[in-house]
Structure 1
Amino acid sequence: MAEASNEPYRPLSVDVDRWASAASPEIAHQLFEILDIVDENGALRRALTDPSRPAENRARFVHTLLDGRAHEVAVDVVAELASQRSATERQLGDGIERTAVLFAAASAENRGGVNALETLVDELIRFKSVLEHSTEVQNAFSDSRASAQAKVTLARRLMTTSSEEVSLLIERAVSEPRGALPGRLLGHFAEWVADRQQRWIARITTARPLREDQTEKLRQGLNRLYGRDLKLTTEVDPSLVGGLRVQVGEEVIDGSVTHRLEQLQQRIAA
């Protein structure tokens, strides 16, 4: 399904946070269903990725096809993905798949915050381990003669979770792996969820250990700043000299003496 391109490969993506408050297992499931339609229809893929068609035209085409047939959020997400320029048809499908996983993660996040995300990652990795340690199970899921429903039924027997999001992602990986090994795909799913989990973790690096009251004041301040109950991890790095560095997701707040000295040196050298 992929075609040659001189451009570096990267799946299309959207800012899931725009719709995160409405995220649910049902919307994630519908995104997977839309992905199946896109994967099975070459003419549709070409229409949705045709660079000669204006972006708004491709987005409008998605709405024409799906409005009233899927949740409006799922339709809006796919329309935005289709409006982006893609180097290959595969990018659109991979983008829908990754977004579906992130919607499942956001659904878990809405339900239980960072703890639910941690559970989701742990359960995906646990099931991946079950696959990797049993040749019999691997063969069952790779058997082309077995139906998708038979593979889902087997997965349900092996699962120990009551989470809708975990069940959805595991069942998807074993029944529709899109050419990948189910275990490897579950590893990718876990990585994508873990990326979202980082938004809830504040990594604190200090020159000296913090007292308990200092840690609590820092926690309260960061919770107010980010509007959520962050999980703090602390690490001591004497090379900072003084102050501290905070990282939440990809955002870094560097208040260390070392950083300020480096800034001063750069200004002097300029």
Structure 2
Amino acid sequence: MAEASNEPFRPLTVDVDRWAQSASTGTSRQLFEILDIVDGNGALRRALTDPSRAADDRARLVHTLFDGRADAVAVEIAAALASQRSATERQLGDEMEHLAVMLTAAAAENRGGGHALESLVDELIRFRSMLDRSAEVQRAFSDPRAGAEAKITLARRLMTPGSEESALLVERAVSEPRGALPGRLLERFAQWVADRQQRWIARVETARPLGEDQLARLRDGLNRLYGRDLKLTTEVNPALVGGLRVQVGEEIIDGSVTHRLNQLQQRIGA
């Protein structure tokens, strides 16, 4: 009998930025297709989440099945997920879906930066709102007698002209919702894309309002630091006393007097 693995359960995660610069909707579509195969094959799901199998063995199984048959990046991402210990079979599929959406967002980002991400969110929400307004359309997409291709054809008729990325995600949501309502799934997709969009927004808090010249210099400095054209939002926070605090995504640059005073208090034990 195989011995149980000592690998700990952790949330599955793969850094999509590793492949972001070359991301395309083609790669995303291939990762979705791998997900469909995993979802549709119970024996494969169990093999890829079997805690008694070594991590390398689970990753090797993915490569054995898909190398040469699917996009190399999509296979590498699926293998990286399989090498981590899943708490459930569902968890593996959920994270594969999440990463396929994030690759799609990265493809939009490559095409048009933060503006393309913002448009992608808007396009997904627009289609979701259309669904909310029409019970007839909702029934059409939830009809078990209608095949995936029929639902994709209907979605294409209903979509307003938009990006290749939004078309992929809308078609995915209506044809393979994985037990979710298409509208709810689109809302989830939009939130994931919005999370990536935060990387393009610099939230600036200052003790007092900044002049136009100061804002321009700050914007130029942050753009050079992050290598991208950031969108600045500013907020006056008198509690900072002096200086400023900048947040881009999850990274925080705190140059406020309050922060420095707090650091001093910690050092002296006050």
- 8 Å CA contact 1:114–1:200 kept in 2: the answer is yes
Rounded to whole Å, the distance in 2 between the matches of 1:71 and 1:252 is 36
Rounded to whole Å, the distance in 2 between the matches of 1:10 and 1:156 is 39
Flag structure 2 segments of 5+ consecutive residues without an equivalent: 1-8
Matched residue count: 262
After superposition, give the CA deviation of every residue in 1:162-195 in whole Å (9 maximum; x if it has no partner). 3110000000000100000000000110011011
2:141 matched to 1:138?
no
- 8 Å CA contact 2:49–2:86 kept in 1: the answer is yes
Rounded to whole Å, the distance in 1 between the matches of 2:10 and 2:38 is 18
Deviation at 1:10? 7.7
TM-score (norm 1): 0.95
Rounded to whole Å, the distance in 2 between the matches of 1:35 and 1:124 is 21
After superposition, give the CA deviation of every residue in 1:219-245 in whole Å (9 maximum; x if it has no partner). 111111111111111111111111000
After superposition, give the CA deviation of every residue in 1:67-104 in whole Å (9 maximum; x if it has no partner). 10011111101010100111100011001100100010
Flag structure 1 segments of 5+ consecutive residues without an equivalent: 1-8
Deviation at 1:206? 0.5
- 8 Å CA contact 1:219–1:232 kept in 2: the answer is yes
- Runs of 4+ with >4 A deviation: none
Residues 144-153 or 175-184, more deviating? 144-153
3-state SS in 2 of match to 1:103? helix
3-state SS in 1 of match to 2:261? helix
After superposition, the CA RMSD in angstroms is 1.2
3-state SS in 1 of match to 2:21? helix
Q: 1:86-235 counterparts in 2 under 5 A?
A: 86-235=86-235
2:85 matched to 1:85?
yes
- 8 Å CA contact 2:123–2:162 kept in 1: the answer is no
Q: 1:161 to 1:10 in 2, by over 3 A?
A: farther
Rounded to whole Å, the distance in 1 between the matches of 2:12 and 2:192 is 14
3-state SS in 2 of match to 1:19? helix
- 8 Å CA contact 2:59–2:82 kept in 1: the answer is yes
Rounded to whole Å, the distance in 2 between the matches of 1:56 and 1:28 is 24
Deviation at 1:12? 2.2
Equivalence for 1:62? 62
Residues 115-124 or 220-229, more deviating? 220-229
Deviation at 1:161? 2.5
3-state SS in 1 of match to 2:204? strand
Rounded to whole Å, the distance in 2 between the matches of 1:193 and 1:11 is 19
Equivalence for 1:6? none
Q: In structure 1, give the amino acid aligned to 2:268.
A: I
Q: Among the aligned pairs, what percent are the same residue?
A: 76
Q: In structure 2, give the amino acid aligned to 1:240.
A: L
Rounded to whole Å, the distance in 1 between the matches of 2:103 and 2:221 is 29
3-state SS in 2 of match to 1:168? helix
Rounded to whole Å, the distance in 2 between the matches of 1:229 and 1:184 is 32
Rounded to whole Å, the distance in 2 between the matches of 1:66 and 1:11 is 24
Q: 1:9-48 counterparts in 2 under 5 A?
A: 12-48=12-48
Equivalence for 1:4? none
Rounded to whole Å, the distance in 2 between the matches of 1:161 and 1:101 is 20
TM-score (norm 2): 0.95
